[in-house]
């Protein structure tokens, strides 16, 4: 096991988290052992990390691979979504076209059941290696931006479906044009059944609302954006204000889509 110093102000997509020395698991046994006391981080594109957070770990380069095994493609959990997207595109394989517009690692993407529009990662996979056991995807409970995976994802087997869909790639690129460019974690809250979270935030005048350098974006209210030197505490305060205001006015519980790792 090795250690690495990471500056999360550059590593995480929302540019928050401070500088930390974290452990790197170099094989499955180390990953399982570390997971008993530490929290795994993928590419931190969906995780708001306190500068006081401790005991984090990442997977090492041994988990960054793409293998064509004939009937399926096996991909290490550390692999970058964009790299996987480019591989599928080059091989004319379909099903994961949205990964070109979705930042993250394959491990984090499976854990979150990430996706765009009606496309979700769960639909393209055969099985997931969790704590060294291959589990069929049908045995995993995947719901909207959530899975019940309770262990370390080390690799994933993807279906081999012929026909990369360039029209989908363009559709997802187009969707991104309407979203803020500032550092964020994507959508901050899950959409309640009743009404989209962005609309609710707009209805209570929180679109563009700012504390310090953190703000609900003027372009898309459900994106919590860092306008410069945004802090973890300001982000949490905004999340609390949004949840309290919307509950008071509409009796709707806004559930964060992002993962929050607090300090001890
Ligand atoms: C600009 C922007 C736009 C986005 N748009 C979308 C979107 O349209 N749709 C969408 O679904 N998401 C979106 N996201 C969120 C993000 O892209 C996805 O959730 C992505 O899949 C997160 O991957 P990650 O590696 O960064 O995960 P992280 O943020 O590092 O981790 C997420 C969770 O997964 C866990 N985890 C990470 N790796 C593993 C592993 N190997 N084993 C077990 N658990 C693990 C972490 O502990 C954490 O709980 C967006 C983010 C940004 C910044």
> Domain containing 152 — which CATH number?
3.30.465.10
Judgement on whether residues 71 and 161 belong to the same structural domain of the protein: yes
Domain presence at residue 178: no
Residue span of the structural domain in which 215 resides: 183-261
Tokens coding 231: 């802090």
> Which residue out of 105, 145, 147, 215 is catalytically annotated?
145
CB of 259 closer than 6 angstroms to any ligand 1 atom: yes
Which tokens belong to 126?
């055969």
- pLDDT of 1 > 90? The answer is no
> Per the structure, how many domains does the chain have?
3
CA 144, CA 191: separation in Å to the nearest integer? 10
With a 6 Å cutoff on the Cβ, whether 124 touches ligand 1 is no
Q: Residue 178 above 90 pLDDT?
A: no
The pair of structure tokens assigned to 109 is: 């993407």
Last residue of a domain, one of 147, 170, 193: 170
Residue of the nearest CA to atom 4 in ligand 1? 186
Q: Both 40 and 95 in a single domain?
A: no
- For residues 120 and 57, membership in a common domain is answered with no
pLDDT computed for residue 110 by the predictor: 98
Measured from the CB, is residue 46 less than 6 Å from ligand 1? yes
What pLDDT score does 135 carry? 98
Which of 149, 170, 191 is a domain's end point? 170
Q: Is 257 a catalytic residue?
A: yes
User: What pairs with residue 87 in β-bridges?
Assistant: none
pLDDT digits (tens, 9 = 90+) for 214-252: 999 999 999 999 999 999 999 999 999 999 999 999 999
Predicted confidence (pLDDT) per residue in 121-137, tens digit: 999 999 999 999 999 99
**Catalytic pick from 147, 184, 187, 215?**
187
Query: How far lies 32's CA from each of 61, 62, 190, 260, in Å?
Result: 16, 15, 30, 22
Q: Tell me the CATH number at 57.
A: 3.30.43.10
Domain's final residue, options 62, 82, 105: 62
Asked whether residue 38 is domain-assigned, the answer is: yes
Q: Are residues 76 and 47 in the same domain?
A: no
Element holding 40 (H helix, E strand): strand 39-40
Q: Ligand 1 centre from 46 Cα, in Å?
A: 4
Q: Is 70 exposed, middle or buried (0-12, 13-18, 19+ CB in 10 A)?
A: exposed
Cα–Cα nearest to 132, from 56, 33, 32: 32
The closest residue, in CA terms, to atom 19 on ligand 1 is: 46
Q: Do residues 161 and 74 share a domain?
A: yes
Q: Is residue 68 part of a domain?
A: yes
- 77 CA: nearest ligand 1 atom: 41
Asked if residue 175 is part of any domain, the answer here is no
How close is the Cα of 249 to the center of ligand 1, in Å? Answer: 31
CA 69 – CA 170 distance, rounded (Å): 29
3-state secondary structure of 22: strand
- Measured CA to CA, the distance from residue 77 to residue 106 in angstroms comes to 5
- Domain match, 6 and 86 both: no
225 belongs to a structural domain: yes
pTM for the predicted model, two decimal places? 0.96
What pLDDT score does 117 carry? 86
Q: Determine how many CB atoms are found less than 10 A away from the CB of residue 37.
A: 9
Q: Is 105 in the pocket of ligand 1 (CB under 6 A)?
A: yes
E strand intervals along 85-181: 115-116, 119-120, 125-130, 133-136, 142-143, 146-147, 153-159
Most ligand 1 atoms within 8 A of CB, residue of 16, 45, 149, 190 to mutate: 45
- Specify if 72 maps to a domain: yes
- Per the structure block, which two tokens stand in for 57? 């770990």
Ligand 1 contacts CB of residue 13 (under 6 A): yes
| Ligand 1 centroid, distance to 148 Cα (angstroms) | 15
Q: What 3-state DSSP class applies to 195?
A: coil
| Phi/psi of residue 178, nearest 5 degrees | -90, 5
204 and 138 together in one domain: no
Q: What is the CATH number of the domain that holds 232?
A: 3.90.78.10
Query: Does any domain span residue 27?
Result: yes
State the Cα–Cα distance between residues 41 and 205, nearest whole angstrom.
33
Residue 191 lies inside a defined structural domain of this protein: yes
pLDDT digits (tens, 9 = 90+) for 190-210: 999 889 999 999 999 999 999
By most ligand atoms within 8 Å of CB, the mutation choice from 17, 24, 44, 46 for ligand 1 is: 46
Average pLDDT across the chain, whole number: 96
Here the tokens at position 213 are: 């350098």
Number of residues in the chain: 264
Model pLDDT for residues 71-110, shown as the tens digit of each residue = 999 999 999 999 999 999 999 999 999 999 999 999 999 9
Give yes or no: 187 in active site: yes
């Amino acid at each position: 096991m090795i250690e690495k110093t990471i500056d999360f102000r550059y590593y995480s997509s929302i540019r928050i988290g401070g500088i930390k020395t974290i452990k790197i698991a170099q094989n499955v046994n180390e990953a399982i052992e570390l997971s008993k006391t530490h929290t795994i981080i993928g590419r931190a594109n969906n995780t708001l990390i306190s500068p006081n957070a401790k005991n984090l770990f990442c997977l090492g380069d041994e988990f960054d691979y793409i293998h064509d095994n004939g009937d399926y493609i096996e991909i290490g959990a550390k692999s970058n979504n964009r790299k996987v997207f480019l591989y599928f595109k080059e091989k004319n394989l379909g099903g994961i076209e949205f990964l070109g517009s979705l930042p993250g690692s394959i491990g984090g993407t499976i854990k979150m059941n990430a996706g765009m529009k009606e496309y979700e990662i769960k639909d393209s996979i055969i099985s997931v290696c969790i704590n060294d056991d291959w589990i069929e995807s049908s045995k995993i409970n995947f719901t909207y931006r959530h899975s019940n995976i309770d262990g370390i994802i080390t690799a994933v087997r993807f279906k081999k479906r012929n026909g990369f869909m360039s029209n989908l790639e363009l559709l997802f690129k187009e969707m991104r044009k309407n979203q803020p460019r500032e550092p964020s974690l994507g959508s901050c809250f899950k959409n309640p059944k009743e009404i989209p979270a962005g609309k609710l935030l707009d209805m209570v005048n929180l679109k563009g609302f700012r504390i310090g350098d953190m703000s609900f974006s003027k372009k898309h209210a459900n994106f919590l954006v860092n306008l410069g030197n945004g802090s973890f505490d300001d982000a949490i305060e905004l999340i609390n204000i949004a949840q309290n205001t919307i509950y008071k006015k509409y009796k709707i519980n806004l559930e964060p889509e992002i993962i929050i790792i607090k300090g001890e």
